[in-house]
Amino acid sequence: MRGSAVAEPHFACNVDDVPIDAAKVVKIKSLSVGIFKLSDGFHALLNICPHRGAALCEGPVCGTTRATDDQEFVYDRAGELIRCAWHGWEFDIRSGEFLVDSRIRARTLPISLDGEKVFVHL
């Protein structure tokens, strides 16, 4: 019988290394990971788009248009989404959820802070 694996913290970067409007892409073991700074703290995504395997976290951090009852465009969720540079698929940075189909998700990774250091748990 196998025990459950405990996610180990791995140093990713310093808090000040993470920009507000883009990901800080780091290598942890053999994985490329995007670290994001949002209004509620830090978040991490595996740097692989589930659509075609592109470097997801190297796309722009953005928002999207919100559905309205009128024929106007309302820009919403600024700085909460990552858009894949290859095909424009948009994912929620916090949950990894693809905006068009919630069954498709980019992989999120647990993150913690220790003073000024950011750790990703693998």
Domain ranges of the chain: 9-121
Q: What is the pLDDT of residues 54-112, one digit of tens each?
A: 999 999 999 887 777 778 887 778 889 999 999 999 999 999 999 999 999 999 999 99
For the chain, give the percent of residues with pLDDT over 70: 94
pLDDT given for residue 89 in this prediction: 94
CATH of the structural domain 9-121, one choice from 1.10.1200.10, 2.30.30.140, 2.102.10.10, 1.10.3720.10 = 2.102.10.10
pLDDT given for residue 6 in this prediction: 67
pTM over 0.85: yes
Output the average pLDDT for the chain: 91
Residue 2 DSSP one-character state: P
Comparing 98 with 7, which gets the higher pLDDT?
Answer: 98
Query: Where does 2-110 show beta strands of DSSP type E?
Result: 9-14, 24-28, 31-38, 41-46, 61-66, 74-83, 90-92, 108-109
Residue 116 to residue 89: CA distance in whole angstroms = 32
SS3 of 77, please?
Answer: strand
Res 122 pLDDT > 80 = yes
Residue 12 to residue 24: CA distance in whole angstroms = 9
